[in-house]
Amino acid sequence: MTIEEFQRLIESIYYEKDSARGLEGDFRWFMEEVGELARAMRQRDKAQLSEEFADVFAWLSTMASICGVELDKAVNKYASGCPKCKQTPCEC
């Protein structure tokens, strides 16, 4: 699945509910998921890590959609390497 396909999927599942909640509410849910990801990282639980990375990405996708940002285009910021020095790996 591409980033664009994922963003469309998350929109089809959650957009109505998430946009009604509002960006501030969605951001709180996102931060809760980041906290759960941090806990899974501390515990080094690979199965839980996969679940939490997926949840964080889903909430990030929701917020991008509400803000009108296409994630597949936004990530092009890194297409030429480090946005600042343009090197891969970064030499900043």
State if pTM tops 0.85: yes
Instruction: Please return the burial class of 88, using the count of CB atoms within 10 Å of its CB with bins 0-12, 13-18 and 19+.
Output: exposed
d(CA 49, CA 32): 14
Q: What is the CATH number of the domain that holds 39?
A: 1.10.287.1080
Domain that holds residue 59: 3-78
Q: What is the pLDDT along the chain (92 residues), one digit of tens a residue?
A: 999 999 999 999 999 999 999 999 999 999 999 999 999 999 999 999 999 999 999 999 999 999 999 999 999 999 999 999 999 999 99
Tell me whether residue 92 is in a domain: no
Is residue 84 situated within a structural domain?
A: no
Residue with tokens 């990801």: 37
Sign of the alpha-carbon torsion through 77, 73, 70, 46: negative
CB atoms under 10 Å from CB of 62, counted, come to: 25
Give how many domains the chain has, as a whole number: 1
Residue 82, helix vs strand vs coil: coil
